[in-house]
Amino acid sequence: MTFGPRFTLAALVLLGASPAAAQRPDSGMTMAMPGMASPMPIPMPPGMVMIPGLVGLAPAVTPFLPGVGVDPASLAEAGPMRTVTLASGDTFDLTASLVRRVIRGHPYVTYAFNGEVPGPLITMPAGATITVRFHNRIDLPSTVHWHGIRLDNRFDGVPGVTQAAVAPGDSFVYQVHAPDGGMFWYHPHVREDIEQALGLFGGIDVVTAAIDSAPVNARAVLFLDDLLINADTLIPFGREVPDFTLMGRVGNVLMVNGGTDYRLAVRAGDVVRFYLVNTASSRTFNLSFGGAPIKVIGSDVGRFEREAWVPSVVIAPAERYIVDVRFDSAGSYPVLNRVQAINHFIGEFRAEVDTLGVVTAAGATLADHHADFDSLHTNADVVRDLARYRSAFDRPPDKRFTLTVSTHGLALPTAQFMTIDTAYYAPVEWIDGMPDMNWLSTADQVRWEIRDDATGKVDRDIDWHVPVGSLVKVRFFNDPKSFHPMQHPIHLHGQRMLVLARDGVRNTNLVWKDTVLIPVGSTVDVLIDASNPGAWMMHCHIAEHLGAGMMAVMHVDPR
Amino acid sequence: MITARLGAALLAAGVLAAGRAGPYDITLLSTPAAPDARGSARLVSAESPFGVAVTADGRARYDIELRITGLPAPSSLGAYRTYVAWAATPDLAHWTRLGPVTNGSSTVGTAEYNKFLLVITAEPGSEPAARSGPTVLHGTSPSGWLQTFLAHPIFRGAPG
């Protein structure tokens, strides 16, 4: 494993059966998969059984897995992420290809950038421009989207909006100019439910002194992810359209940096700066470090106004958080995902704890950053920068969107069950409590909607133009009375935004974001700094919700 | 009496007019101890740098906004001087004191249960260690809507 100079990457360790891993076909029921050699069971959460009316059904899609007929042994095994340090003007080749990934001892055919999962961690200075030659060597069309980077619209990587999809065997040249410091990432913008889920993602650390020169003992980047595996088989994807469109595909194998064996060695008293990136299709994580104190520093596009102590880190798909964690004493600190699952059948919540890895502290720290860690700093430069935006905070919204869903043709038991599904509310659904119904739902039956309240238009039909240089206040309302209310991490390409208020309560600690979690039933006000001209996608970053239509385009027009 | 009912009606109308009725709204029911009391509560995600406020084990953290009318003077119910809001687990095994409340609007402390009962009792002081007086208002958090607790003596106005 080769690491760059700036990051101490950790290896992961599997610490025993976790609740997510326990998601097994305990009902003994199976579902037939058309075109598959044998029935395909869908793993069910512990204590839950498939609804009898759904047994024997299968989603109305052709099952798809990459490399059908390819002997995994003939493919190169995916390697770990390497760090690539680039300067302005440098050129870098990025190739998507089939690889063999070994997960829990079993080989799978998946995808990788440059043979690595996650893909290469690109580090570059803020303000630099690099050239990336992308080569598509997988069996699907693809692109590369540079998530969170306010680059030239031509290189945003959205087929049908900024470029044509790159066909298998073809290439595309991107110029990536990164004006902001922070941890960003890249991934395809074609069938994210397949390509991103199967390993096509990587990080871009845009280096600034304010974030990357802090007094800490070590730095580590953690890509949080999951995969849905039944026994030793990947659950196939829908070839024509996504399946799992109600909840998104929530995996039962949780991973850090593409593996299930993460481990980090530190010294007692060390402070580690973690750069957290959620690359999962649908899962929101609630991450903690075995009781070690956590201080949140920054998020998607820079630092908060003020650092804050937190008991855990809630990170939705596509979000990033930068946190400092101090490991005071010698010993082991499990990296935990602790959530509350809902059993809709009996109306009960239950705690779930998954161990993603372990941090081991041994020996005494070589540099004591205790005093700095104990202080909660106010970032005067961030506060000062935000001053010019504050006059827009209290004005009425310029745009109001309602997040909702419409369906047709779902299996009758699914439609019936939804009437009790909504009897138990949680602002975030941490797990898939209904994987059988979820699996059967395809993008032909489910349409997730961003609805423009003023016009009634939905998703790509919304005609939204703003002049470049304007500040746009947007109010999102996540309708709790929809057929299936669920949280949505809304991502806006090419711009940055501030979360001004949640449910009418002003946010007093701002940070620039590109992805904003809208919990069930919540109203969230954001202020968009529409500074970058072009046609920019705004969508839910749950891959299957995106695949089921939940996207609009914001046109930032030249003046 | 008329004022109290009018206040309750206006309160309800206000909630509806503001479009606030939803999964985080709780209607408070009165008990025989204070039959003219009316109220509602709204669960507001507690302050957090993240998209939602939760505990380390993933339970939602809510600040509770209360709007109440029609509470009589506490002393009219006995040797009581104030009203106090509590969050209790549905099995009534765990109680968290949220803070003192009065008629009108007030925001009390943070509830950290997946589903819970919101209970307002008359108490001798504003910081009692445990509930002791009669319940005057109570409600159920959204995920408890399919359960009923009306049969329990403490929701019929009996002293704790």
Q: What is the pLDDT of residue B146?
A: 62
Q: Which residues of A423-439 are buried (b: 16+ CB within 10 A; e: fewer)?
A: ebbbbbbbbbbbbbbbb
Label residue A164 exposed, middle or buried (CB < 10 Å: 0-12, 13-18, 19+): exposed
Chain A contact probe: residue of B54, B89, B94, B107 with most A CBs at under 10 A: B54
Structure tokens at A124: 């570059």
Q: Chain A 304-333, CB below 8 Å of chain B: which residues?
A: 304, 308, 310-316, 319, 321
| 3-class secondary-structure state, position A396 | coil
Give residue A415's pLDDT: 84
Tokens for A283, please give them.
Answer: 């899962």
Among the partner residues B51, B57, B60, nearest to A351 by beta-carbon distance: B57
3-state secondary structure of A421: helix
Q: Which residues pair with A177 in a beta bridge?
A: A129
Task: Nearest by CB to A339, from B24, B58, B142: name it.
Answer: B58
Q: Give the residue extent of every domain in chain B.
A: 2-156
Q: Enumerate chain B positions whose Cβ falls within 8 A of a Cβ in A.
A: 22-24, 44-45, 47-52, 54-60, 114-115, 142-143, 145-147
List Cα–Cα distances, B109 to A484, B44, B85, in angstroms: 30, 11, 9
- pLDDT value at B97 more than 80: yes
Burial of A80 (C-beta count, 10 Å sphere; 0-12/13-18/19+) = middle
Chain-wide mean pLDDT for chain B? Answer: 84
Residue type, position A533, single letter: P
Is the bond preceding A19 in cis, omega lying within 30 degrees of 0? no
Which chain A residues have a beta carbon less than 8 Å from that of B50? Answer: 310, 313-315, 321, 517
Candidates A40, A521, A69, A454; CA nearest to B19 is A521
Contacts of A388 (CB under 8 A, 6+ apart): none
Helix (H) / strand (E) containing B122: strand B117-123
> At residue A315, what are phi and psi to the nearest 5 degrees?
-135, 115
Domain ranges of chain A: 67-212, 219-378, 391-557
Question: Are the C-beta atoms of residues B86 and B130 closer than 8 Å to each other?
Answer: no
What is the C-alpha separation between A94 and A88, in angstroms, rounded?
A: 17
Reported in sequence order, the residue ranges of A285-347 that DSSP labels E, i.e. its strands, are: 285-289, 294-299, 302-310, 313-315, 320-327, 331-343
Cα–Cα distance list, A161 to A186, A396, A494, A552, B44 (Å): 17, 30, 13, 11, 38
- In this structure, are residues A401 and A450 in contact, taking their beta carbons and an 8 Å threshold? yes
CA distance B145 to A425: 10
- Give the separation between CA B49 and CA A482, rounded to whole angstroms: 27
Q: Which residue has the tokens 């994807």?
A: A237
Report whether B92 contacts B127 (CB < 8 A): no
Measured CA to CA, the distance from residue B131 to residue B96 in angstroms comes to 10
* Chain B interface includes A522 (CB < 8 A): yes
pLDDT on residue A391: 97
Residue pointed to by tokens 């998703």: A459
Domains A67-212 and A219-378 share a fold: yes
DSSP per-residue string spanning A151-186: --GGGS--BTTTB--B-TT-EEEEEEE--S-EEEEE
* pTM listed for this prediction: 0.91
> CA A370, CA A385: separation in Å to the nearest integer?
29
Write the pLDDT tens digit of every residue in B2-38.
Answer: 333 333 333 333 333 334 456 789 999 999 999 999 9
> What beta strand segments (E) does A178-281 contain?
182-187, 202-207, 218-227, 229-230, 233-234, 237-238, 253-256, 262-268, 270-278
Whole-number pLDDT of residue B157: 66
User: Which residues from B are below 8 Å from A489, CB to CB?
Assistant: 51
Predicted local distance difference test score (pLDDT) of residue A46: 76
Q: What pLDDT is stored for residue B147 in this prediction? A: 67
What does the block give as tokens for A499? 């979360």
Q: For residue B5, what pLDDT is reported?
A: 38
Taking a contact as any Cβ pair under 8 Å apart, which residues of chain A between 416 and 435 contact chain B? Answer: 423-428, 430
Please give the single-letter amino acid code of residue A205.
Answer: D
What per-residue confidence (pLDDT) applies to A21? Answer: 52
The yes-or-no verdict on residue B110 having pLDDT over 90 is yes
> Where does A67-212 sit in CATH, by number?
2.60.40.420
User: Residues 6 or more apart from B93 whose CB is under 8 A from it?
Assistant: none
| Separation CA A287–CA A302 (nearest Å) | 20
Helix (H) or strand (E) holding A419, with range, is helix A412-421
Q: Is A351 left (phi over 0), alpha (psi -120 to 50) or beta?
A: beta
Å between B24 CA and nearest CA of chain A: 8
CATH H-level superfamily of A391-557: Cupredoxins -  blue copper proteins (2.60.40.420)
Smallest Cβ–Cβ distance between A423 and the set B50, B54, B146 belongs to B146
Fold category of B2-156 in CATH: Immunoglobulin-like (2.60.40)
Query: How far is A218 from A9, CA to CA, in rounded Å?
Result: 10
Interchain proximity B51–A520, CB inside 8 Å: no
As for the ipTM of the complex, it is 0.89
C-alpha span between A335 and A327 (Å, rounded): 12
CA distance A401 to chain B (A): 15
B33, B83, B105 from B75: Cα distances, Å: 12, 10, 21
In angstroms, the Cα distances linking A14 to A256, A262, A336, A432 are 11, 8, 12, 22
Contact, B64 vs B99, CB < 8 A? no
A217 CB-near residues (< 8 Å, 6+ apart): A266, A267, A270, A271, A272, A365, A366, A367, A369
Sheet with B25-30, strands from edge to edge, namely B95-101, B82-88, B117-123, B135-140, B25-30, B38-45, B62-69, B104-111
State the Cα–Cα distance between residues A159 and A139, nearest whole angstrom: 17
For domain A219-378, is the CATH number 2.60.40.420?
A: yes
Percent above pLDDT 90 for chain B: 68
Per-residue confidence at B148, pLDDT binned at 50, 70, 90? low
pLDDT in tens, B5-14: 333 333 333 3
> Mean pLDDT of successive 10-residue segments in chain A (559 residues)?
34 40 42 44 78 86 92 94 98 98 94 98 98 98 98 98 98 98 98 98 96 92 96 92 97 96 97 98 98 98 98 98 98 98 81 97 97 96 97 98 96 81 80 91 97 98 98 97 93 98 96 97 97 98 98 97
- For the residues B103-124, what does the mean pLDDT come to? 94
